[in-house]
């Protein structure tokens, strides 16, 4: 089962809104369909959104190439498409990172044909680089654990959210290969149940022992010493290590601090937003009230009940034990440590 594949100038996406009950694929032949898939969470997770957006720009360029435009007019039109794709979701910085990286090629290419080739190659390398980054994150993360432990994770930061084995779930999968995993507790992750539907499914398929809990059980699981570490992914990390991730991560971090349980963030460098001093300015997506008023189409509140539905929260760096990247682990992240890490690895 593959989260996305690029074949014959089409992007095939696994429809994650239907998992785990139905395995269905969406064939995207135009960029608008990819943007819609990102909006609907048919493709989701920061690195996967980034890669999908890069392929969407290739589709946009292919479509525009039929119009015989001058190169400068072509680039103008492509910019509009880029902005349309970027508007799909606001929080995961990988979306903007991938679109900027691919659109920047317009300045170095001279012809439409040259640009299309470069866009496709770059989209493929964004995908491939993420596969490798996931593997490295998995290895650096697994090395943090010296004995068998139980881990709690939130949302889905696995193969379904990336191009490779996953970030948080990459750490868990590599640790499992090294016989270091007793049990993984997967938070259900209301409102859209990425934990109950996707993480449980992905870990089950990978043969990793997994138990689902509802989000409000996490504190009790910690109190009863049922987990020794928390590993989650990220959607955007500021210069100082403040981290936006799926709503509920902040609550876990506060509980973890109380119970002296280390919370690790596993994320590639593409998830850092070095333009932001701290997490204050990270845009938090608010999604449809329907997601809280119902579960998979079945109403759970009185009709039209007002709800608040932020899709992400920001965990201050002070609550984070370490950020696991493809270049190594930044322990107890601060602005100074992250800057030194960037210098050391020329990032
Ligand atoms: O709304 P989603 O499902 O796209 O949210 C995903 C998350 O919050 C993930 O934890 C994050 O993107 C990291 S995925 C490797």
CA of 342 to the centre of ligand 1 (A): 24
Closest ligand 1 atom, CA of 168?
A: 15
- Give the active site residue among 187, 235, 273, 313: 235
Domain layout of the chain by residue ranges: 4-134, 135-345
Q: How far apart are CA 344 and CA 106, in angstroms?
A: 30
Closest ligand 1 atom, CA of 267?
A: 15
CATH no. for 135-345: 3.40.50.10470
Is 235 catalytic? The answer is yes
Q: To the nearest 10°, report the CA torsion of 101, 107, 111, 116.
A: 0
pLDDT given at position 8: 84
pLDDT given at position 260: 98
Nearest CA to ligand 1 atom 10: 233
CA of 82 to the centre of ligand 1 (A): 22
pLDDT given at position 62: 98
**Per-residue pLDDT tens listing for the chain (347 residues):** 899 999 989 999 999 999 999 999 999 999 999 999 999 999 999 999 999 999 999 999 999 999 999 999 999 999 999 999 999 999 999 999 999 999 999 999 999 999 999 999 999 999 999 999 999 999 999 999 999 999 999 999 999 999 999 999 999 999 999 999 999 999 999 999 999 999 999 999 999 999 999 999 999 999 999 999 999 999 999 999 999 999 999 999 999 999 999 999 999 999 999 999 999 999 999 999 999 999 989 999 999 999 999 999 999 999 999 999 999 999 999 999 999 999 999 99
Pairing of strands 236-238, 243-246: antiparallel
CA of 121 to the centre of ligand 1 (A): 25
pLDDT given at position 161: 98
- Tokens for 155? 């949302």
pLDDT given at position 267: 98
Angle between helices 112-142 and 168-177 (to 10 degrees): 50
Closest ligand 1 atom, CA of 246?
A: 8
Residues 9-18: contacts with CB under 8 Å, at least 24 apart: 9/58, 9/59, 9/62, 11/52, 11/55, 11/56, 11/59, 13/37, 13/42, 13/43, 13/52, 14/43, 14/160, 15/42, 16/41, 16/42, 16/43, 16/44, 16/160, 16/198, 17/41, 17/42
Ligand 1: residues within 6 Å at CB? Answer: 41, 44-47, 92, 155, 157, 161-162, 167, 194, 232-235, 245-246, 311
| Cβ neighbours of 309 (radius 10 Å) | 16
> What string of H, E and C letters represents the secondary structure of the chain?
CCCEEEECCEEEEECCCCCCCCCCEEEECCHHHHHHHHHHCCCCCHHHHHHHHHHHHHHHHHHHHHHCCCHHHHHHHHHHHHHHHHCCCCCCHHHHHHHHHHHHHHHCCCCHHHHHHHHHHHHHHHHHHHHHHHHHHHHHHHCCCCCCEEEEECCCCEHHHCCCCECHHHHHHHHHHCCCEEEEEEECCCCCCHHHHHHHHHHHHCCCCEEEECHHHHHHHHHCCCCCEEEECCCEEECCCCEEEECCHHHHHHHHHHCCCCEEEECCHHHEECCCCCHHHCCCCECCCHHHHEECCEECCCCCCCCCCECEEEECHHHCCEEEECCEEEECCCHHHHHHHHHHHCC
- Tokens for 220? 């009790």
CA of 232 to the centre of ligand 1 (A): 9
Q: How far apart are CA 116 and CA 129, in angstroms?
A: 20
pLDDT given at position 193: 98
Q: How far apart are CA 180 and CA 117, in angstroms?
A: 44
Angle between helices 93-103 and 71-86 (to 10 degrees): 170
pLDDT given at position 99: 98
Q: Which residues contact 152 (CB under 8 A, 6 or more apart)?
A: 184, 185, 186, 187, 218, 221, 222, 227, 229, 230, 231, 252
pLDDT given at position 51: 98
Q: Is the peptide bond preceding residue 20 cis, with omega within 30 degrees of 0? A: yes
Radius of gyration of the chain (CA): 20
Nearest CA to ligand 1 atom 8: 246
Ligand 1 pocket check: which of 160, 245, 271, 310 to mutate, most ligand atoms within 8 Å of Cβ? 245
CA of 141 to the centre of ligand 1 (A): 18
| CATH class as words, domain 4-134 | mainly alpha
pLDDT given at position 296: 87
């Amino acid at each position: 089962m593959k989260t996305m594949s690029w074949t014959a100038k089409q992007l095939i996406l696994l429809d994650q809104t239907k998992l785990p009950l139905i395995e269905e694929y969406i064939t995207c032949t135009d960029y608008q369909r990819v943007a819609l898939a990102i909006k609907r969470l048919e493709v989701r997770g920061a690195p996967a959104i980034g890669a999908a957006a890069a392929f969407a720009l290739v589709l946009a360029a292919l479509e525009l190439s039929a119009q015989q435009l001058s190169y400068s007019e072509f680039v103008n039109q492509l910019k509009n498409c880029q902005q349309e794709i970027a508007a799909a979701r606001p929080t995961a910085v990988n979306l903007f990172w991938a679109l900027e990286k691919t659109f920047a090629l317009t300045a170095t290419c001279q012809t439409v044909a040259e640009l299309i080739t470069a866009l496709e190659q770059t989209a493929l390398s964004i995908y491939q680089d993420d596969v490798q980054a996931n593997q490295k994150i998995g290895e650096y993360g697994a090395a943090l654990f010296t004995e068998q432990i139980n881990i709690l994770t939130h949302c889905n930061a696995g193969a379904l959210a990336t191009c490779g084995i996953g970030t948080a779930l990459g750490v868990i999968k590599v640790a499992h290969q090294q016989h270091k995993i007793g049990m993984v507790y997967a938070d259900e992750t209301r409102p859209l149940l990425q934990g109950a539907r996707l993480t449980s499914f992905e870990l089950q398929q990978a043969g990793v022992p997994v138990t689902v809990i509802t989000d409000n059980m996490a504190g009790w699981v910690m109190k009863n010493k049922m987990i020794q570490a928390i590993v989650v992914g990220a959607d955007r990390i500021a210069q100082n290590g403040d981290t936006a991730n799926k709503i509920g991560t902040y609550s876990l971090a506060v509980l973890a601090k109380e119970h002296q349980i280390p919370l690790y963030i596993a994320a590639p460098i593409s998830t850092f937003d070095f333009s932001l001093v701290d997490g204050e300015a990270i845009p938090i997506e608010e999604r449809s009230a329907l997601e809280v008023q119902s579960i998979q189409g079945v109403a759970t509140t009185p009709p039209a009940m007002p709800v608040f539905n932020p899709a992400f929260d920001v965990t201050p760096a002070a609550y984070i034990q370490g950020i696991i990247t493809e270049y190594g682990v930044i322990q107890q992240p601060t602005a100074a440590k992250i800057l030194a890490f960037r210098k050391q690895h020329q990032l």
